[in-house]
Amino acid sequence: MKKAFITGVTGQDGAYLSKFLLGKGYHVIGMIRRSASSDMIGERLRWLGILGQIELVDGDLIDLSSLIRLMGTHKPDEVYNLAAQSFVATSWQQPLLTGEVTGLGAVNMLEALRLMHPSARFYQASSSEMFGNIRAPVQNETTPFYPRSPYAAAKLYAHWMTVNYRESFGLHASSGILFNHESPLRGVEFVTRHITDGVAQIKLGLASELKLGNVHATRDWGHARDYVQAMWLMLQQDVPDDYVIATGRTVSVQDFAGMAFAHAGLNAADFIRLDPARLRPAEVDALHGDAAKAAEKLGWRAHVALEAMAAEMVDADIARYQRKAG
């Protein structure tokens, strides 16, 4: 039985990746950090019905000794480094923490592997945010990077260190440059889930408006369920490499909101209020990915259409509020 080790297992991607790997017959080991709210840990894994099927182990990305111990003890075949301070807006409030976890944390993981278990295959969760102030209208693996937030700068450091450990030490280390991907398990602070949660509240009479920041920003949004498959495919290749993962379709925040409201039978313009407090110090105005390399080399492509994903998220949020109301 193959062993996979996942950091960030309690997050959106960690949950979907765990489910996918369990379906492939893997033994999944998920690293969790100590929390005073231990009963809340694993909510997403519980939602997918897999909490009891994963071996949860304690560790923290900024605690190198815990990573060394875990690699030495478990010697996994595959390591997926998904843990991060992943909310871009927060990275301006906590730039040092973001640098430590999102940037140096990845290097801690690489170091633990190099020292204890260099034969493992390693996946680094890189991000389209690294393209930032875009240098080309459509971005692929050859597009230059221009990070626009402390988060993106930290991810870029982790990305290049992954490349460097591959080239310096021969680690089987790959980076997935993933464009935004969402689901009903997306954190509610991210814009798609903020919108679908707001639509659900408005539909059920629990709220009367939805506050948004820059509604003109455009993103290439896909479904997390599709994207975790690409992570696994990268680690099945003989040669490690970097891949852009995207749908190739880009729409604005406003248009995504239009889809979500329409699914609930509502008109977005009647409810959206612009909130300057939600604007960012520096914005990534537009992202549009080209995943041709992943299609050709991995045989990967996105399956879930944006409208279907918006509908799934709205329905899940309505169901959540209905359950809460008993």
Give CA torsion, residues 6, 10, 13, 14, to 10 deg: 20
Determine the interface stretch with ligand GDR among 40-48, 111-119, 123-131, 235-243 (rule: CB under 6 A): 123-131
Please name the residues in contact with 89: beta carbons below 8 A apart, sequence gap of 6 or more: 189, 280
Among residues 37, 32, 110, which one has the least CA distance to residue 71? 110
Active-site residue 151, yes or no? yes
Question: Is 33 or 278 the residue whose CB approaches ligand GDR more closely?
Answer: 278
Set 16, 26, 123, 151: catalytic member: 151
DSSP string, 168-202: HH--EEEEEEEPPEE-TTS-TTSHHHHHHHHHHHH
Say whether 174 is catalytic.
no
**C-alpha dihedral, 282 to 286 to 292 to 295, nearest 10°:** 80
H/E stretch holding 123: strand 121-127
Q: Which of 18, 86, 126, 127 is catalytic?
A: 127
Q: Which residue from 121, 219, 263, 288 is in contact with ligand GDR, where contact means CB under 6 A?
A: 219
42 binds ligand NDP (CB under 6 A): no
Q: Is the dihedral of CA 95, 87, 214, 201 positive or negative?
A: negative
Complete DSSP assignment for 226-262: HHHHHHHHHHTSSS--EEEE--S--EEHHHHHHHHHH
Cα→Cα distances 124→178, 270, 326, Å: 10, 42, 41
Q: Which residues within the stretch 10-69 sit at the binding site for ligand GDR (CB under 6 A)?
A: none
Name the residue nearer to ligand NDP (CB basis): 157 or 271: 157
Smallest gap from Cβ 167 to ligand NDP, in A, equals 22
Kind and range of the H or E element at 122?
Answer: strand 121-127
Q: Which stretch binds ligand GDR (CB under 6 A): 44-52, 85-93, 226-234, 293-301?
A: 85-93
Residue 69 within binding range of ligand NDP, rule CB under 6 A: no
Position 320 contacts ligand GDR (CB under 6 A): no
How far, in Å, CA of 110 to CA of 193, rounded? 32
With binding defined as CB under 6 A, does residue 94 bind ligand GDR?
no
61 binds ligand NDP (CB under 6 A): yes
Q: Which of 32, 61, 88, 158: binder of ligand GDR (CB under 6 A)?
A: 88
- With binding defined as CB under 6 A, does residue 10 bind ligand NDP? yes
The answer to whether the beta carbons of residues 225 and 18 sit under 8 Å apart is: no
Identify residues 252-291 at the interface with ligand GDR (CB under 6 A). Answer: 253, 278, 280, 283-284
- Contact status: 127 vs ligand GDR (CB under 6 A): yes
Report strand pairing: 27-32 vs 55-58: parallel
Is 139 one of the binding residues for ligand NDP (CB under 6 A)? no
Residues 164-183 that bind ligand NDP (CB under 6 A): 178, 180-181
Exposed / middle / buried, residue 10 (Cβ in 10 Å: 0-12, 13-18, 19+): buried
112, 156, 212, 291: which one binds ligand GDR (CB under 6 A): 212
User: Which candidate in 129, 174, 182, 243 is catalytic?
Assistant: 129
Nearest to residue 125, comparing CAs of 9, 280, 46? 9
* Per CB under 6 A, 162 contacts ligand NDP: no
Q: Enumerate binding residues for ligand NDP (CB under 6 A).
A: 7-14, 33, 60-62, 82-86, 101, 105, 125, 127, 178, 180-181, 187
* Active site residues per annotation: 127, 129, 151
Q: Enumerate binding residues for ligand GDR (CB under 6 A).
A: 86, 88-89, 127-129, 179-180, 189-191, 194, 212-215, 217, 219, 253, 278, 280, 283-284
